């Protein structure tokens, strides 16, 4: 690592760090303190946690939810280095958990799921995912990273097949796992919360949708920034939910008053 960026002007917290002269000079870390995000036509570097003066700014070149062996293999193959970041040194096996025999079956089926998704064979993807979940859950927990990928693929398939209630059932199961695999604010977590919140709203659970949109907003204002179009969408949906909840509340009050008068 010859070049690196660091913060030279005090601590930064949850701010857009702006456009660096050359973002391609940023090094990798499996628990990065920054993310890169397109906001309209601008590529922004955003801090995802407090950064101390002179601390190096890092992004992740790989999917941080992947287990260490996968991350390291990809980094070696694509960027020719063995990652020795703090996280790689003290990684726990929480990505996969126990029940190795079971989860390896799921892991080995991921490339097939990805090709079905790529070819938009939604009915087949749904069938394969449901069979995998039926055969392996709860022995393999939802927090297992491969189970999480199956749940996500199944949610995609159900949405594409317009089966929104079923999509919500599986989407809800992913949320705790996202918190585990993305301990800092992360764009993937933000988008997952938004997807689940939209499903909750569509399926009529307005109160829960309001909570999930709020969670999405909290993550997204860090990862995307308040000027980002997706954040405007979350704010719009949140306002819709709040108005619907208020209207529902008023209707209930009116009904109660009427009942008392009778
Ligand atoms: C996009 S460049 C990053 C900037 C590079 N450090 C430089 O000085 O030009 C990617 C290369 O930086 C090196 N690199 C980035 N992160 C690293 C890390 N965590 N450990 C070791 N080498 C790393 C690898 O050689 C990788 O192929």
Query: pLDDT of 177-204, one tens digit each?
Result: 999 999 999 999 999 999 999 999 999 9
pLDDT at 14: 45
Backbone dihedral angles phi then psi of residue 79, each to the nearest 5 degrees: -125, 0
The residue with tokens 């999405």 is 216
More confident of the two residues 15 and 61 = 61
Does residue 172 surpass a pLDDT of 80?
Answer: yes
pLDDT at 40: 82
Q: Compute the mean pLDDT over every residue in the chain, rounded to the nearest whole number.
A: 88
Ligand 1 site, residue 83, Cβ cutoff 6 A: yes
Closest CA to 5 of 126, 16, 20: 20
Nearest atom, ligand 1, residue 3 CA: 8
Q: What residue owns the CA closest to ligand 1's atom 18? A: 28
Beta bridge partners of 56: 6
pLDDT at 55: 92
68-112 residue pLDDT tens: 999 999 999 999 999 999 999 887 665 666 555 678 999 999 999
Does residue 13 surpass a pLDDT of 60?
Answer: no
């Amino acid at each position: 690592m010859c070049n690196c960026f660091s913060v030279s002007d005090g601590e930064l917290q949850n701010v857009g760090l702006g456009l660096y002269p050359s973002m391609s000079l940023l090094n990798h870390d499996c628990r990065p303190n920054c993310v890169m995000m397109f906001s309209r036509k601008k590529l922004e570097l955003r801090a995802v946690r407090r950064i101390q003066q002179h601390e190096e700014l890092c992004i992740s070149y790989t999917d941080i939810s992947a287990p260490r062996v996968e991350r390291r293999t990809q980094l070696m193959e694509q960027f020719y280095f063995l990652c020795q970041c703090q996280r790689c040194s003290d990684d726990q096996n929480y990505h996969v958990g126990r029940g190795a025999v079971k989860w390896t079956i799921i892991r080995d089926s991921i490339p097939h799921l990805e090709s079905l998704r790529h070819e938009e064979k939604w009915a087949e993807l749904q069938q394969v995912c449901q069979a995998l979940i039926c055969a392996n859950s709860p022995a393999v927990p939802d927090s297992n990273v491969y189970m999480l990928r199956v749940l996500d693929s199944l949610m995609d398939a159900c949405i594409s097949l317009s089966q929104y209630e079923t999509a919500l059932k599986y989407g809800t199961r992913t949320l705790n796992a996202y918190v585990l695999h993305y301990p800092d604010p992360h764009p993937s977590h933000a988008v997952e919360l938004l997807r689940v919140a939209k499903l909750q709203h569509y399926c009529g659970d307005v109160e829960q949708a309001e909570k999930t949109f709020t969670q999405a907003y909290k993550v997204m204002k860090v990862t995307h920034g308040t000027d980002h179009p997706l954040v405007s969408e979350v704010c719009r949906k949140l306002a819709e939910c709040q108005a619907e909840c208020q209207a529902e509340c008023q209707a209930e009050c009116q009904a109660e008053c009427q009942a008392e008068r009778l």
